[in-house]
């Protein structure tokens, strides 16, 4: 009965989201589309305003989109992005034992259709929806012990858009050296190809990388949801900003290390380090919360990091589509409300840290204690001497 109710709601919501997004302005895609069109026409990839900030090899992958009309490109990217998210959801749920015929699948899809991250990414025409599928694919390959394939996929994706770069650290934590080597090789080869074939490749080093390191363009400061973005908005000292960013990323690394040997460890280690990166980066979009989906599906696992109400209170804060905008609100309260995704990430990180600590204590408490009973051969020797 649950499936009969949930599937129509999920499909209807997703179709509505796609139609709304495919007929929208897709501002992110417009930037990518123009860059691909320039490169396809033999012109420089990077525009004078430095709106296109992807690595050079990404330009060649976007060039085919530049050959289409913009409206057609929007439809292709929005529909493809939604299919990628659905495929990633199915793949991730399968890793935790949820079958495709379960009512859980339409329930998750319904929640995603009304979530801020997915709606925002599709509306913007962003390709991070496809990167979510890549993240899910890397995790699935790691769980299947196909380390070379996982690393090759990760390296290729990072060469196109390095958002998943923290997964390389996850490979170190998990002790997957072969996967890390494969990622370095595939990423290096693709990056070299892009640099050798893009006419204005030097711009990527002289302009794009410094821009990203400094927190992106100044006009985007109000949209930065990282700790650094909050520090700038709230006027916090640089030293405090740095300490908070290091502490957040350090906490994520500690959680990942504690869970490195857990059942299905990649499902937790990868997104936890992504969470730490969202908090510690110089610039983070609120919609990047989509990368935390692998962590959220572990609620189906006994002893999972997100099996607590504070974790899901945090999920609500960063996933809700509500604007929480109140007219005539003072500047400070209004800023605090706009930073809801950040508060949600911090609450989720704290909940994961508490659960990681508790699970470690539980494991130690269940460990067998050594007794002073003599070994069989020692007991036999004692008995022989007594005789």
Q: Please return the burial class of 95, using the count of CB atoms within 10 Å of its CB with bins 0-12, 13-18 and 19+.
A: buried
Whether 5 has a pLDDT exceeding 90, the answer reads: yes
Q: Which of the residue ranges 80-89, 150-159, 198-207, 378-387 would you say has the lowest mean pLDDT? A: 378-387
Mean pLDDT value across residues 31-40: 92
Question: pTM of this prediction?
Answer: 0.90
Higher pLDDT, 141 or 216: 141
Average pLDDT, the chain: 89
pLDDT tens-place string over residues 62-85: 999 999 999 999 999 999 999 999
Q: How far is CA 70 from CA 28, 35, 125, 330, 385, in A?
A: 12, 12, 11, 40, 94
Give the HSE-up count for residue 144: Cα atoms under 13 Å, Cβ half-sphere: 15
Whether 365 has a pLDDT exceeding 80, the answer reads: no
Q: Which of 211-220, 248-257, 300-309 has the highest mean pLDDT?
A: 248-257
Whether 363 has a pLDDT exceeding 60, the answer reads: no
Rama region for 131: left / alpha / beta (φ>0; ψ in -120 to 50; rest) = alpha
Q: Which of the residue ranges 33-42, 240-249, 272-281 would you say has the lowest mean pLDDT? A: 33-42
Is there a contact between 279 and 249 (Cβ–Cβ < 8 Å)?
A: yes
Query: In the chain, what percentage of residues exceed pLDDT 90?
Result: 73
Mean pLDDT value across residues 269-294: 96
Q: Is 261 helix (H, G, I), strand (E, B) or coil?
A: coil
Mean pLDDT value across residues 206-211: 86
Is there a contact between 267 and 297 (Cβ–Cβ < 8 Å)?
A: yes
- Using 50, 70 and 90 to split pLDDT, how confident is the model at 366? low
Copy the structure tokens of residue 162: 């390095």
Is there a contact between 276 and 166 (Cβ–Cβ < 8 Å)?
A: yes
pLDDT tens-place string over residues 112-141: 999 999 999 999 999 999 999 999 999 999
Mean pLDDT value across residues 97-123: 94
pLDDT at site 119: 95
Mean pLDDT value across residues 326-336: 77
pLDDT at site 211: 84
Task: Give the separation between CA 148 and CA 183, rounded to whole angstroms.
Answer: 8
Is there a contact between 314 and 346 (Cβ–Cβ < 8 Å)?
A: yes
Higher pLDDT, 383 or 97: 97
């Amino acid at each position: 009965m649950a499936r009969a109710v949930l599937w129509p709601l999920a499909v209807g919501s997703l179709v509505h989201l796609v139609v709304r997004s495919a007929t929208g302005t897709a501002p992110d895609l417009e930037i990518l589309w123009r860059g691909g069109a320039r490169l396809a026409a033999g012109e420089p990839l990077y525009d004078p305003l430095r709106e296109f900030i992807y690595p050079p090899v990404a330009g060649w992958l976007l060039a085919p989109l530049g050959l289409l009309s913009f409206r057609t490109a929007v439809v292709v990217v929005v529909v493809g992005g939604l299919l990628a998210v659905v495929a990633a959801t199915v793949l991730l749920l399968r890793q935790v034992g949820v079958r495709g015929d379960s009512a859980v699948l339409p329930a998750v899809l319904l929640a995603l259709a009304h979530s801020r991250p997915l709606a925002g990414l599709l509306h913007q025409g962003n390709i991070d929806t496809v990167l979510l599928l890549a993240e899910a694919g890397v995790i699935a390959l790691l769980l299947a012990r196909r380390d070379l394939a996982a690393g090759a996929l990760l390296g290729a994706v990072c060469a196109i858009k390095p958002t998943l770069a923290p997964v390389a650290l996850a490979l170190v934590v998990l002790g997957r050296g072969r996967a890390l080597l494969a990622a370095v090789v595939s990423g290096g080869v693709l990056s070299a190809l892009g640099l050798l074939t893009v006419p204005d490749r030097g711009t990527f080093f002289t302009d794009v990388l410094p821009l990203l390191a400094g927190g992106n363009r100044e006009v985007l400061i109000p949209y930065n949801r990282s700790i650094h973005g909050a520090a700038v908005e709230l006027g916090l000292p640089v030293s405090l900003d740095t300490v908070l960013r290091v502490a957040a990323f350090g906490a994520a690394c500690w959680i990942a290390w504690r869970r490195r040997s857990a059942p299905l460890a990649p499902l937790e280690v990868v997104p936890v380090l992504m969470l730490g990166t969202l908090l510690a980066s110089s610039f983070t979009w609120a919609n990047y919360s989509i990368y935390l989906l692998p962590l959220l599906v572990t609620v189906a696992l006994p002893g999972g990091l997100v099996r607590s109400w504070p974790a899901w209170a945090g999920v609500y804060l960063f996933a809700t589509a509500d604007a929480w905008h109140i007219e005539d609100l003072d500047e400070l309260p209004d800023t605090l409300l706009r930073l809801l995704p950040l508060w949600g990430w911090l609450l989720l990180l704290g909940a994961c840290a508490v659960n990681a600590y508790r699970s470690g204590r539980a494991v130690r408490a269940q460990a067998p204690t050594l007794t002073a009973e003599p070994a069989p051969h020692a007991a036999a020797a004692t008995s022989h001497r007594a005789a």
